Structure 1
């Protein structure tokens, strides 16, 4: 295909074309049209401007800002724009999926169902840690009602929310973590809500305060380490792992990533392990509370009888009379 004759408009920063050597001519009309169409599609998916995209392509190709695009630059520029467009399309799709998920999470007990599912299937504790394919799978399952939705759990009347002082303490720790990692505070709070198992609009129960503080402190400490391992994770916990917990977490790391206590962990793996520790400790605490609330097997049906026997045992004379009455009743029946 032959270039269209004439001098086409040039991208910002392009100087006049003077060379006629093969490959040193300015971009042809067809080449410029191809690149501009890619840029138009890219701008539609991002907040970038036309000049900004042209400048970015020049930077990636190693061209000076005032250097013109030449015919020989076209293949590399087209490939660069196609890569940028592919990334933008993936990000756009991911944002759409997250938006749809967020809308569905606010319905019923979907949040708890999704939290349980991604922890069991992907070893993660927050949606922000999932890949686009994993997010798409979760959305499809939710839309097709294929996730097991847990029944609503009634909280004890005595379960209070965080006090203002406790909330402020967590807020300060979240701000410090965000400053250290660059992660938005909104995502950190979202992860904390998902860990605590509360729905949008609910308050975090006070019983989670200690666990959340430990989780935040550990993340803060581990964010400064370039090669974290299970051993450094253990050392970062304000409340160290007990022997049984240590064995359990080692098994979790080995089953999910074939990791040993000496294996260097990724940021996602560290967050997954900390989330697992949080959930297991919270579940253990709940189980302990439930055991404490179990009533004796004779209560309440036999409670009056037992109380009466206790009273009689303190008065031997009355106990003797009661025994005679029981024996007389048995004799008459026989």
Structure 2
């Protein structure tokens, strides 16, 4: 524990002994000055400031002139001011240390690209300096634990390639516009997109979802300016309108879930849920189509027989002989 400063401490610059002895108007007591100087010593150790600068800063924050002395009544506010400055300095030091550790790790392997992709997806940012201290610590922890990595190309099918930089920039611009229109944070919008795409934390959104995500974002922004959106409003807001079958399915879902009709006014939550349903159903339909297209034809054991019939049909004489032989065989069996 720090020992009290012995002797008469140095008074702040410009501070004299007031002549009055009115309660609260007396000079700082030795104990009060010791408390403040201990805090100032800790603050100077964490910053590049000097003692005189800190004293001047306290007086400025308390609204005192440069040559005005700190009095006994100023002690509570001065102590609180120093504690706040000390807390800020400690937080800044912690942030600098975190950034330093991150900088060392970024030069290893593909960490820089992995961190850049993760920060862009999770927080909608492109620079570490724009993150909060808590976000920086979470990135550092993931990196130290080996939970941030770039998937190798051969580990992904061609259809599951991640978003290209241009595609990501397009989505980021749409997210920014939507956030400005609705007041929702960009981070929450990105999180919704990750969940819709079925992507786990730290993974990249597949490029195959790009078109549907663009439609989802644009529709949300369009509908955010409508006071009483309906199912018909959703249809009009979609870049790719609903097909009759899709519209009927959506109407059935809305009727069963909320007992609403195509003309009913929808809440913000209902609109977003319906847009989510459209996204998920279209992605599912697209996947089903892809799987059907990739299925190889099943071998048919009757192919040789069919080919033989086709060959004989091109030669009537041979076909007639074959029919006579077949009839004879049937006659014998009978």
TM-score (norm 1): 0.46
TM-score normalised according to structure 2 size: 0.46
Higher normalized contact order (CA 8 Å, seq sep 6+, divided by chain length)? 1
Higher Rg: 2
